[in-house]
Amino acid sequence: MLRVGFFAALLIAQSPLVMAQACPDSTPVIQSATVGGAQDNGNTKTYIVQGTVVNRSSHKQAGNVLQSIEVLQDGQKINEIGIPPLGPGRSYEFHQSVVRSSIAGKGTTHLSFQLREHSPQSCTQENVYHLRV
């Protein structure tokens, strides 16, 4: 019994630690997301959300960066929008349609926009913008 515990502890101690990758200086951020307009057809209302991603650093992103905005409505993924690599101080505007019942109460739909870096590996920066419609 004692030997099993010792060997288990030894294996755990020798396991490589997975270190979280720090974000490069050029990692962009979601600057804003706002409702730009709405159309009501009687049964449903379609909201157009406009958002902006910006590279606030003085460094450009590498040309091979793959990144996107993951869009969630009330916790369910509804879309993923590709974002090109951004130069220093440059921004990218994205749009998302959201359909709700015409009788839904104001502020009852929760939208989340999360910036995801796919390649190179994702960094640890939490980059989420929340909006209620």
- pLDDT exceeds cutoff 90 at 18: no
pLDDT of residue 7: 41
Residues 6 or more apart whose Cβ sits within 8 Å of residue 4: none
Residue that has been written with the tokens 């939490």 in this structure? 126
**Residue 6 neighbours by CB distance under 10 Å:** 10
pLDDT of residue 13: 41
- pLDDT exceeds cutoff 90 at 105: yes
**Residue 55 neighbours by CB distance under 10 Å:** 21
- Domains located in the chain, CATH noted: 20-127 (2.60.40.10)
- pLDDT exceeds cutoff 90 at 127: no
- What confidence tens digit (pLDDT) does each residue in 19-66 have? 445 566 678 999 999 999 999 999 999 999 999 999 998 999 999 999
